[in-house]
Amino acid sequence: MDPELYSQGDPFVQWKWLRANDPVHWHRPTELPGFWSLTRYHDIRTAYRDAETFSSAQGILLRPADHGADPGGGRTLALTDAPRHKQLRGLVDGWFAVRSVRALEAEMQGIAERVVNTALEQGSCDFVTDVAARIPLFVICRMMGVPESDWEHLYDLTSQAFAAGDPLTRRFAHLNILGYFETLQAEKAQKPGDDLVSVLATAEVEGERLSADDVILNCDNLLVGGTENTRIAAAGGMLALLEHPGQWQAVRDGHELLPSTVEEVLRWTSTATHIMRTAVRPTEIHGQRIEVGDKVVFWLPSANRDESVFTDPDTFDVHRTPNRHLSLGFGEHFCLGSMLARVELRLLYGELLRQGVHVELDGEPKLLDSIVVNGPESMPVRMKAA
Ligand code: HEM
């Protein structure tokens, strides 16, 4: 649970030991509540499938007990159970379906091209903030109906909200994001357009309009969900490709490898470090009794290196197939933006390949100190067109 383990240590050694020796491990309470750790692929998938036992409504991330309940609990898409979850998801899932994402692809390609060209003009830049962060942010802003003139403003706010450093600056930026959506949702409720915020601002769930707070929290969920993991996965994937030049060369030689490369980047980076559930009825896993109220934590990067499922799990292999990783979750709460994330990664790497961009590290990448998301926080690079 030490955030520095993820920035400076090697959590995979501990996860490997847990998978082999203690797959349902009780972690005693600290400032965090006590919880069960699941580290094996099949145990996590089985628990994911059983949403009637493992609830999302009390939060999906470990939180210090003195921070109180998660404010989104029972209200946002990620933090609700059936039947409310199904209704909320039904409001927005059409926007994330294959057909809708395909319809946006040309625009997304334009965004990827613009971002890569700006980085090329700069020559030296931070791949995380200057390249990887902008594409998913601009795409989700476009889908949410944020006017293009505000995209840079939201980019600044999300950069501050995700940045390391002063927690007060982060919290202030996050409050500003909520404030931004408070205004936007009021405007969209008055004058709806063809966008996600309008859908939420005018929607009814269980026969009632969503409250303004529920709309704002769901907007925040979409913005954060839509940007944070994709940004880190895109940068972590680039880092893996730079660290395995033979693999990057294989993709350059055969662009048809892009889809399997994206899947391997998702498995390898596994940016969502943990996902939590709360048992709402007693159950047993490998003979361990789980009581009502117990927290159960799924360590997704561990599942994705489970040697009983993946051949040579510690090898980064862009040819890997099948590749049924759990980086995007599984079951009812399977990542809403899975298709979008895959297309964004494919378009970014595809654009670098199309222009024959040479990318090289220009300093040490810094990894995030966090138990929630893992991967590069900053990654200085030099980029040059062929
Ligand atoms: C590489 C990128 C991404 C990764 C690794 C990722 C990971 C995940 C994971 C692990 C979950 C499951 C949470 C759970 O089990 O409780 C999830 C859910 C979700 N993701 Fe993603 N995500 C990514 C990109 C996106 C994008 C682009 C969006 C766009 C809006 C998005 C929106 C969401 C939402 C709204 C949920 C909640 C779905 C629900 O509870 O029904 N994600 N994501």
Cis peptide before 23 (omega within 30 of 0): no
Q: What angle do CA 128, 134, 140 make, to 5 degrees?
A: 130
**Considering only CA atoms, which of 84, 81, 87, 89 is closest in space to residue 55?**
81
Query: Going by CA atoms, what residue is nearest to atom 43 of ligand 1?
Result: 335
Range of the domain at 254: 3-60+82-384
Contact residues for 140 (Cβ-Cβ < 8 A; gap 6+): 222, 223, 226, 227, 337
pLDDT given at position 206: 84
pLDDT at residue 163, rounded to an integer:
78
**Residue 288, number of CB atoms within 10 A of its CB:** 14
Tell me the residue ranges of DSSP E strands in the chain.
24-27, 35-38, 54-55, 124-126, 204-205, 208-209, 274-279, 283-285, 288-290, 295-299, 358-361, 366-367, 376-378, 380-384
- The verdict on the CB of residue 296 being under 6 Å from ligand 1 is no
Answer yes or no: is 19 within a domain.
Answer: yes
Centroid of ligand 1 to alpha carbon of 334 (angstroms): 7
Question: What pLDDT is attached to residue 21?
Answer: 98
Let me know if residue 96 belongs to a domain: yes
d(CA 165, CA 158): 14
Q: What is the 123 CA–ligand 1 centroid distance (Å)?
A: 32
DSSP string, 71-111: TTTTTSGGG--TTHHHHHHHHHGGGGSHHHHHHHHHHHHHH
Beta-carbon contacts of 247 under 8 Å, excluding residues fewer than 6 positions away, are 240, 241, 261, 316, 317, 318
340 touches ligand 1 (CB under 6 Å): yes
Residue 27, domain member (yes or no):
yes
Going by alpha carbons, the residue nearest to atom 19 of ligand 1 is: 335
> Rounded CA gap, 170 and 220, in Å?
14
Does the CB atom of residue 277 touch ligand 1 within 6 A? Answer: no
Q: Are 250 and 151 in contact, with CB atoms under 8 Å apart?
A: no
Pocket test for ligand 1, best of 128, 196, 229 (most atoms within 8 A of CB): 229
Here the CATH number for the domain that contains residue 227 is: 1.10.630.10
CA of 337 from ligand 1 middle (Å) equals 6
Distance 329 CA to ligand 1 centre (A): 7
With a 6 A CB cut-off, is 140 part of the ligand 1 pocket? yes
pLDDT at position 51, please?
A: 98
Task: Answer whether residue 71 is part of any domain.
Answer: no
For the chain, the domain total comes to 1
Residue closest to 43 by CA, chosen among 27, 24, 56: 24
- Residue 53 Cα, ligand 1 centroid: separation in angstroms? 21
Percent of the chain with pLDDT over 90: 94
Instruction: Determine if ligand 1 sits within 6 Å of the CB of residue 218.
Output: no
Is residue 330 situated within a structural domain?
yes
Residue 74 domain-assigned (yes or no): no
Q: How remote is the CA of residue 33 from the centroid of ligand 1, in Å?
A: 24
Query: Exposed, middle or buried, 2 (CB in 10 Å: 0-12/13-18/19+)?
Result: exposed
91 lines ligand 1 (CB under 6 A): no
Is any atom of ligand 1 closer than 6 Å to the C-beta of 128?
A: no
From the alpha carbon of 300, which atom of ligand 1 is closest?
A: 10
Of ligand 1's atoms, which has the minimum distance to the CA of residue 80? 40
Average pLDDT over residues 252-274: 97
* CB of 226 closer than 6 angstroms to any ligand 1 atom: yes
Q: In this structure, is residue 70 part of a structural domain?
A: no
If DSSP states are collapsed to H, E and C, what string results for 152-206? HHHHHHHHHHHCCCCHHHHHHHHHHHHHHHHHHHHHHHHCCCCCHHHHHHCCEEC
Confidence of residue 188 (pLDDT cuts 50, 70, 90): very high
Rounded distance between C-alpha atoms, residue 325 and residue 306, angstroms: 10
327 lines ligand 1 (CB under 6 A): yes
Beta partners for residue 296, in sequence order: 36, 277
Tokens of 351: 């654009």
Average pLDDT, the chain: 96
**377 burial level (CB within 10 Å; 0-12, 13-18, 19+):** buried
Q: Which atom of ligand 1 is nearest to the CA of 345?
A: 1
Per-residue burial over 16-25, b = 16 or more CB atoms within 10 Å of its CB, e = otherwise: bebbeeebbb
- Residues facing 55 on adjacent strands: 278
pLDDT band of 117, cuts 50, 70, 90 = very high
Query: Does residue 264 fall inside a structural domain?
Result: yes
CA of 222 to the centre of ligand 1 (A): 9
**CA of 223 relative to ligand 1 center, distance in Å:** 11
In terms of pLDDT, which residue wins out, 28 or 160? 28
Return phi, psi of residue 24, to 5°: -125, 80
Per-residue pLDDT, 377: 94
37-94 pLDDT tens trace? 999 999 999 999 999 999 999 999 999 989 899 989 999 999 999 999 999 999 999 9
**Whose alpha carbon is nearest atom 1 of ligand 1?**
230
The rounded distance, in Å, linking the Cα atoms of 1 and 364 is: 24
Least confident of 140-144, 183-187, 253-257, 329-333: 253-257
Res. 165: pLDDT tops 80: no
CA 10 to chain CA mean position, Å? 21
Please indicate whether residue 238, judged by its CB atom, sits closer than 6 Å to ligand 1.
Answer: no
